[in-house]
Structure 1
Amino acid sequence: MNNSPLQHPQDGAPQLRLDGLRIALFSGNYNYVRDGANQALNRLVDYLLRQGAQVRVYSPKVARPAFEPTGTLIGLPALAVPGRGEYRVPLALSPQVRRDLKAFAPDVVHVSSPDPASHRAVSWARRRRIPVLASVHTRFETYLRYYNMAWLEPAMVAVLRRFYRRCDALVAPSESMAQVLREQRMNYDIGIWSRGVDREIFTPERRSMEWRRSLGIGDDEVVLGIFSRLVMEKGLDVFSDAIDELKRKGSRFRVLVVGEGPAREWLENRLPDAVFAGFLSGPDLGKGVASMDVLFFPSVTETFGNVTLEAMACGLPVVASAATGSQSLVDDHVSGRLITPGAVHQFAEALRAYVENADLRAAHGKAGETRAQEFGWDKINQAVADTYVRLVRQRQKRGQKRAG
């Protein structure tokens, strides 16, 4: 392997280095639709490039992506998802992609979604004895519940297990998600690649009463908010049911929804009194989040919960499902509430406590902000870089033993 990232000092002890390492990254959605997973991947690539690594990204391309990609992006042949045409499924490694991969000669392959192209990428790497790291961003098996196909979950888990066990290691965004992967026997080498938060964007200082007033929200109104891509997999049914129950209890509050997606019309019909601010990004998103009073996020499909962390950084108490992701961030009864998934009555009771008690909101919001200070992006991304180099070193050692 040329330009090996492993340097051997005089004493023979290998020293980990990232400079010169070549990484081939496969993504099902690197930049054509904005989401938390591809934001993390783009930040990772930016960090790797700044450290002197070489990165080549392989993902479907579209004419009008949501944002410009970080690094060099090579298109994969893909098919639009039926009923969700904004998403693409990468189908294979075309001859052009295979030639590009061969010329790039990666030291490590990183796959970030269990799609057909990533399956082929894993096979390509294994034949060449190139180590493979898989990052887990979404609990794909839980999506079936929102399409009345929960009975297929065991089969989906089996398919995912076959994919992940062919990889040399996995990284999960939270310890709670890593434990799920261990229990599902996905792999025996599972590390943590957490998520960071941009404290220049997500901070209590961005709270704007003027912005709230522009939406028709009074200064004395308690705002229960959600910000996310608006798809049913985010628990929008539970969200709306709990809001309805809270109204029946006589609590006075406003609902603020930040985001766009195919389920927006459904949610507007379910909650006609809610305020819909649409898609926001950058400082505008930070202002929108900080101008809420409580985050209500009942999703069970998250592996980390970027939304949860960003709300905490803005000083909001969080009411979330006791599921992977949020469980590793929210300290129950300290910085928010963790509620049994789907327990509408319990969600409503937790929300009512915050609506009616300003001191409780302030105390739990402050605790969440303190916790969010622990999540810096560069330190978090270095954990992935260390894993790359460890896998390369392990593979080189095995090669030396075979040669000996």
Structure 2
Amino acid sequence: MDVSELRIALFSGNYNYVRDGANQALNRLVGYLLKRGAEVRVYAPVVENPAFPATGDLVGIPALPIPGRAEYRIPLMLSPQARRDLHRFKPNLIHVSAPEILGHSAVSFARRNKLPVIASVHTRFETYPRYYGLAFLEPTVTALLRRFYRRCDAIVAPSDSMAQLLREQRMNYDVGIWSRGVDREIFAPEKRSMEWRRGLGLADSDVAIGFVGRLVMEKGLDVFADTIDELERRGVRHRILVVGEGPAREWFERRLPNAVFAGFQAGPDLGRAVASMDMLFNPSVTETFGNVTLEAMACGLPVVAAIATGSESLVSEGLTGRLVRPGAISGFADALENYITDPHQRAAAGQAGAKAADRYSWDAINGALASTYLRIVRQRQGGGGPPRRSPVP
């Protein structure tokens, strides 16, 4: 069996209606599989004006806006039309990308029809409650995630550190890696534009600390702002450049009144924006990989990040950046101050990061996942059964 014999039904709660690193990775994966001759059908919510065109055939799934976060939608169970389409498509593998209602429905469909299932893990959902004053729910959410992932034949994580965490959390007994790649035609040191910086009011001598991502609290915006307050108390001269949009923008603007907000950027514009920073500060602990961290490294920036899944697999402490205990404001400020005041260290870390980013080729990464697909399908064809239900402690 080879890739051209795969018939994959992919289930996603957000395939293209809001742009983020996870759904861009899924679209790249589908493009790769189609080029290799596989057949792929995507089941996901659709909207009138999606953030970007979908790659491959997309079958709409009913969904409701999330209260308070209307830009996101909660996909519901498989509709009768989607079920009929699934039966006509006759997949030989199910891929689920999120543990929501649609994901549960897809896993149940697979088990009823004796189909293998792979789940990709894109974010640390169990950490979200802590950003909304509900940290006491974290053990419950972790247990629910474990119940979901143990019903799958295998799960894949985007980094070694995330895979190890999933093993420690006993999410599944077959944990593999589906990493992320970076487009070096977009993200590269030579994309830096002093003219673009000047247009935003940044002087050539300004040292710009960058933030890149959706402006939502779970990205660590509070830690970012508190750290900048500490730099200001120390009298360390710097500028802040924020790239991204989101529901917390107004809050972030109030907390950082002197920051430059460049708004949403994509494609070559995003590459230019990242390369025009002087360092990236990523305090988030919710990412499982950290696309923005890799993109910043590819642009030749040192990265100051929290010791968290994803970042600790990408950033080499003291070589390509600094890793700091999550929430340690003084530690983050120390690391940033070091790069602000020492241009030679800043340049050396950036050069090391750009070299390290060369290892991340999209075709090699997606090819590795295709190999995992084939292994799981062969295991089932060889007589391996679906995962047994196991008690969740």
Hey, what does 1:9 align to over in structure 2?
none
Hey, what does 1:311 align to over in structure 2?
296
Hey, what does 1:376 align to over in structure 2?
361
Alignment counterpart, residue 396 of structure 1, candidates 360, 381, 390: 381
Residue identity opposite 2:229 in structure 1: D
CA distance in 2, matches of 1:298, 1:332: 15
Extract structure 1 runs of 4+ deviating beyond 3 A. none
Residue identity opposite 1:237 in structure 2: D
1:246 partnered with 2:231 = yes
Alignment counterpart, residue 49 of structure 2, candidates 64, 71, 93: 64
Residue 201 of structure 1 aligns to a residue in which SS? coil
CA distance in 2, matches of 1:148, 1:398: 47
Hey, what does 2:254 align to over in structure 1?
269
Q: After TM superposition, list the pairs within 5 Å mapping 1:5-404 onto structure 2.
A: 6=1, 17-398=2-383
Hey, what does 2:391 align to over in structure 1?
none
What is the Cα deviation at residue 229 of structure 1? 0.7
CA distance in 2, matches of 1:40, 1:321: 23
Residue identity opposite 1:109 in structure 2: I
CA distance in 2, matches of 1:202, 1:134: 29
Residue identity opposite 1:331 in structure 2: S
CA distance in 2, matches of 1:240, 1:257: 12
Matched residue count: 385
Residue identity opposite 2:270 in structure 1: L
What is the Cα deviation at residue 128 of structure 1? 1.1
CA distance in 2, matches of 1:90, 1:279: 25
TM-score, scaled relative to structure 2? 0.97
Q: How far does the alpha carbon of each residue in 1:327-348 deviate from its partner, in whole angstroms, 9 at most, with x for none?
A: 0000011110000000011101
Greater C-alpha Rg: 1
RMSD: 0.8
What is the Cα deviation at residue 78 of structure 1? 1.1
CA distance in 1, matches of 2:288, 2:246: 20
CA distance in 1, matches of 2:113, 2:45: 24
What is the Cα deviation at residue 383 of structure 1? 1.0
What is the Cα deviation at residue 399 of structure 1? 6.9
Residue 191 of structure 1 aligns to a residue in which SS? strand
Matched residues, percent identical? 69
Residue identity opposite 2:89 in structure 1: F
Residue 382 of structure 2 aligns to a residue in which SS? helix
CA distance in 1, matches of 2:351, 2:304: 15
What is the Cα deviation at residue 20 of structure 1? 2.9
Residue 398 of structure 1 aligns to a residue in which SS? coil
Residue identity opposite 1:84 in structure 2: R
CA distance in 1, matches of 2:99, 2:384: 28
What is the Cα deviation at residue 84 of structure 1? 0.4
Residue identity opposite 2:133 in structure 1: N
Residue identity opposite 1:97 in structure 2: A
CA distance in 1, matches of 2:52, 2:109: 29
Residue identity opposite 1:23 in structure 2: I
Residue 219 of structure 1 aligns to a residue in which SS? coil
What is the Cα deviation at residue 113 of structure 1? 0.2
Q: How far does the alpha carbon of each residue in 1:170-198 deviate from its partner, in whole angstroms, 9 at most, with x for none?
A: 00000100011001100010000000000
CA distance in 2, matches of 1:44, 1:87: 22
CA distance in 2, matches of 1:266, 1:376: 37
Q: How far does the alpha carbon of each residue in 1:80-103 deviate from its partner, in whole angstroms, 9 at most, with x for none?
A: 111101111111011001000000
C-alpha distance 220-103 of structure 1, shift in aligned 2 (>3 A): same
Residue 160 of structure 1 aligns to a residue in which SS? helix
Q: How far does the alpha carbon of each residue in 1:331-372 deviate from its partner, in whole angstroms, 9 at most, with x for none?
A: 011110000000011101110000000000000111111110
Q: How far does the alpha carbon of each residue in 1:124-174 deviate from its partner, in whole angstroms, 9 at most, with x for none?
A: 111111000000000001011101001000000010000000000000000
Residue 226 of structure 1 aligns to a residue in which SS? strand
Please list every run of 5 or more consecutive structure 2 residues that lacks an aligned counterpart in the other structure: 386-393
